[in-house]
Amino acid sequence: MQALLQEKAARPRLHWVVHPSDHVGNALGYATHNRYMMESSRNYIELDNQAEIALHIVSADWYRPFEGRYNVLFTMWEFLDLPDSYIRAVEKADALIVPSKFCRDLFSRYTDKPIYYCPEGVDEKTYSYFQRPQQPARFRFLWVGAPNPRKGYPIVLEMIKVFEHIPYVEIYLKTTMPKMNFAETLDACLKNWDDITKEKGKMLSLERMMDRLPRPELADTVRTFGRYNNIIFDTRKLSVAELVALYNSASCFVLPSLGEGWGLTLIEAMATGCPCIAPVHTGIADFFDHKVGFPLNYRIVDFDLDNYSLKTKGFIPDTDDCLRRMIEVIENYPYALRKGRRASEHVRFFFTWDRAGKRLASIINQIQEKLN
């Protein structure tokens, strides 16, 4: 008993400002990050609202320092420059924690404050390896994400033009969106997409892209499940068990993202052994490469982020290469499954939430030692 008390006393004390039940600006990634990181940290950190160090796991736009504390901002970004709102948030923080090497290098260009690297993880018990059939009766490509350009939603919609009439292929889109006429929405989304993304030297505006996509104002308020030919369109709010079952039902996971601070859905799909297609850039590069998946070619292009008044550069995956990779996975599925198994073993060993919790405790210990 005495040893247990001593161990508890030796744990770093931490005020966890953002509670996992908070919506954190309706950002599912941050909410999930908060929940799992807090659960995994309880074995290594003493949570105390009176602690000297305050941790904020939140988008920098939502960050507000806690007066009288040493404030640590745990955040991320996906493009090659920070907007002014993020720079102001960094100035108000005493230290930063970021989940990826990309974010570490990016934020270090804007501040001399301490920046600590703490990768996120995956719940290896929940997202366990699932053995898929060598020859699936119907080949299901799964994409999971918000209906916006950064998550590669328009690129996935482009896939539909190729696969919608192939009976043994199924495209499953798991997203959040208001109820709408699927066929009309599809036509609107695909209109002029090639002109927007492939014109050399043209500034890409995510907001102008969004004008061509369905607006997600009613996200999470409408539950729909629809089918259009062999395209499944699912906007329901799923439980963790249902999400795991969805990953397990997929033959291949596709994430043609323009940028990720980490890449939560990708690492979850990898953990189940699902073969994955994604670009090796930004936060994704910490755990994904050709050894465990099928990398996508991409270009670095100019972006105009109107909402942030920011002109920056970012990454856009090659749509044609994504199609080639999808066909490659279909034609060499036993090989893809072997990559999927390696991916599962890799992330479920090196990138667990327990490892993340230990790493966070180590960081808080380092900060406490500096303060003392």
Q: Is the CATH number 3.40.190.10 carried by domain 139-344?
A: no
pLDDT value of position 205: 52
User: What six digits make up the tokens of 135?
Assistant: 């020859």
In whole angstroms, give the CA distance from residue 237 to residue 223. 7
Left if phi > 0, otherwise alpha if psi is -120 to 50, otherwise beta: which for 243? Answer: alpha
- Give the confidence band of 68 by pLDDT, cuts at 50, 70, 90: very high
CATH topology for 2-120+353-371?
Answer: Rossmann fold (3.40.50)
Predicted TM-score of the model (pTM): 0.85
- Give the confidence band of 110 by pLDDT, cuts at 50, 70, 90: very high
134-148, 156-170, 218-232, 308-322: lowest mean pLDDT where? 218-232
pLDDT tens digits, residue range 254-272?
999 999 999 999 999 999 9
Average pLDDT over residues 166-175: 90
Q: What ranges in 83-192 are assigned the alpha helix state H?
A: 84-92, 101-108, 153-163, 182-190
Determine contact, residues 247/127, Cβ cutoff 8 Å: yes
Q: What ranges in 42-179 are assigned the alpha helix state H?
A: 84-92, 101-108, 153-163
Determine contact, residues 106/87, Cβ cutoff 8 Å: no
Determine contact, residues 275/330, Cβ cutoff 8 Å: no
Angle 150-152-157 from CA coordinates, rounded to 5°: 140
Domains of the chain by residue range? 2-120+353-371, 139-344
In sequence order, the β-bridge partners of residue 117 are: 98
Domains 2-120+353-371 and 139-344 share a fold: yes
